[in-house]
């Protein structure tokens, strides 16, 4: 077992001391009940206990997940300032990607991120399209050490999930990722290889202003542009958002887009009128998810001239 302790009180002023006291209490209780003392393994415990102490109350929880669920496994690596996989998956659902997957009649599915980083959106979207249960290849769960855990029932669930994965391998789906940084694309390529998804992925280094859709029916563009939290980066973040609006309106005719904006102010820089602005938190940051339907009507000229043709947000 292991204990994670957060918080304190007048008598418990150090989290490590709180963890020790919790461990002693649990160990003594189990020894009194069974006559045996459990051992402690801080790195890979069978059972992890979480304690939060504050305001005179302690909340004691048993971790039923084990490794955090956003860590999908299979050698996947995160890039610089990534979204957690769980948040990326929720964002894809808000953007209606799962409905596109359900409605697909074999015509093919296209998903693109022109600022892909390590490819979190792309791989979560692929997982949904190919019916790959997240965490399917984990070899350990928090429930494994639970006495009432039904191993037979869970084995049946895993077998069903693996069969669904095999059945989904023939789906026509293609994801396209671009990023101006070679290191980001290299990380995305390594992730695709580790997960056995290279056949479905088109990754290449490229600038945002050169982004064009792949050949095929209109798909979903989803991206998480830089937030510019530091003052020196704020101007660049605003320019990137404005450039993204231009690229969408000129190049992605008929597509849908979901843009994760790091602030309310930044969300207005894209220039396009969204179908919806969904409040969503990335940790402590109050963000907005912009859901956009890009007109299929071409615009005249280049640059932001389209803003005078009725497509701009008022």
For residue 202, list its beta bridge partners: 176
- Provide the pLDDT for residue 136: 85
- Provide the pLDDT for residue 39: 86
In angstroms, the Cα distances linking 141 to 17, 44, 72, 149 are: 27, 11, 12, 11
- pTM exceeding 0.95: no
Reduced DSSP (H G I as helix, E B as strand, rest coil) percent helix, strand, coil of the chain, to 5: 40, 20, 40
Nearest to 303 by CA among 245, 248, 246: 246
In angstroms, the Cα distances linking 231 to 227, 237, 238, 282 are: 11, 10, 11, 19
Radius of gyration of the chain (CA): 24
- Provide the pLDDT for residue 183: 93
- Provide the pLDDT for residue 312: 64
Cβ–Cβ under 8 Å, residues 176 and 212: no
Cβ–Cβ under 8 Å, residues 220 and 111: yes
Contacts of 189 (CB under 8 A, 6+ apart): 198, 203
Edge to edge, what strands does the sheet with 48-54 contain?
Answer: 2-7, 48-54, 57-62
Q: Cα-flanking dihedrals φ and ψ of residue 238, to 5°?
A: -65, -40
C-alpha dihedral, 90 to 93 to 95 to 98, nearest 10° = 150
Give, in degrees to the nearest 5, the angle at Cα 251 between 246 and 254.
110
Nearest to 68 by CA among 45, 81, 49, 84: 84
- Provide the pLDDT for residue 256: 97
- Provide the pLDDT for residue 288: 92
- Provide the pLDDT for residue 130: 94
Kindly give the parts of the chain with pLDDT less than 50.
none
- Give the separation between CA 68 and CA 63, rounded to whole angstroms: 10
Number of H helices, E strands in the chain: 8, 10
Residue 221 tokens, joined: 């563009």
The tens digit of pLDDT for each residue in 157-169 reads 999 999 999 998 8
Helix (H, G, I), strand (E, B) or coil at 87: helix
Residue with tokens 């979901």: 258
Output DSSP code: residue 310.
T
For residue 175, list its beta bridge partners: 111, 201
The tens digit of pLDDT for each residue in 50-89 reads 999 998 899 999 888 777 778 776 556 665 656 889 999 9
């Amino acid at each position: 077992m292991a204990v994670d302790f957060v918080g304190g009180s007048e008598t418990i002023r150090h989290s490590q001391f709180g963890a020790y006291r919790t461990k002693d209490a649990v160990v003594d209780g189990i020894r009194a009940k069974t006559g045996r003392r459990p051992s402690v393994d801080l790195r890979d415990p069978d059972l992890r206990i979480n304690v939060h102490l504050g305001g005179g109350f302690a909340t004691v929880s048993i971790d039923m997940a084990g490794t955090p669920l956003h860590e999908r496994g299979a050698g996947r690596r995160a890039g610089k300032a990534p979204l957690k996989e769980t948040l990326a998956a929720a964002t894809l659902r808000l953007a209606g990607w799962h409905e596109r997957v359900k409605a697909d009649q074999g015509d093919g599915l296209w998903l693109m991120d022109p600022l892909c980083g390590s490819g979190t959106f792309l791989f979560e979207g692929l997982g949904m399209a190919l019916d790959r249960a997240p965490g399917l290849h984990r070899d350990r769960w928090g429930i494994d050490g639970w006495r009432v855990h039904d191993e037979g029932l869970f084995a049946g669930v895993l077998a069903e999930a693996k069969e669904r994965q095999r059945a989904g391998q023939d789906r026509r789906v293609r994801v396209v990722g671009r990023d101006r940084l070679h290191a980001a694309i290299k990380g995305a390529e390594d992730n695709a290889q580790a997960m056995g998804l290279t056949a479905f992925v088109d990754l290449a280094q490229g600038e945002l202003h050169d982004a064009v859709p792949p050949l095929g029916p209109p798909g979903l563009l989803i991206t998480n542009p830089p937030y510019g939290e530091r003052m020196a980066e704020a101007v660049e973040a605003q320019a990137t958002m404005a450039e993204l609006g231009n690229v969408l309106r000129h190049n992605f005719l008929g597509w849908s887009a979901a843009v994760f904006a790091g602030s309310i102010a930044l969300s207005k820089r894209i220039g396009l009128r969204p179908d919806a602005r969904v409040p969503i938190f990335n940790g402590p940051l109050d963000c907005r998810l912009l859901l956009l339907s890009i007109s299929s009507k071409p615009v005249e000229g280049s640059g932001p001239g389209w803003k005078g043709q009725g497509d701009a947000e008022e």
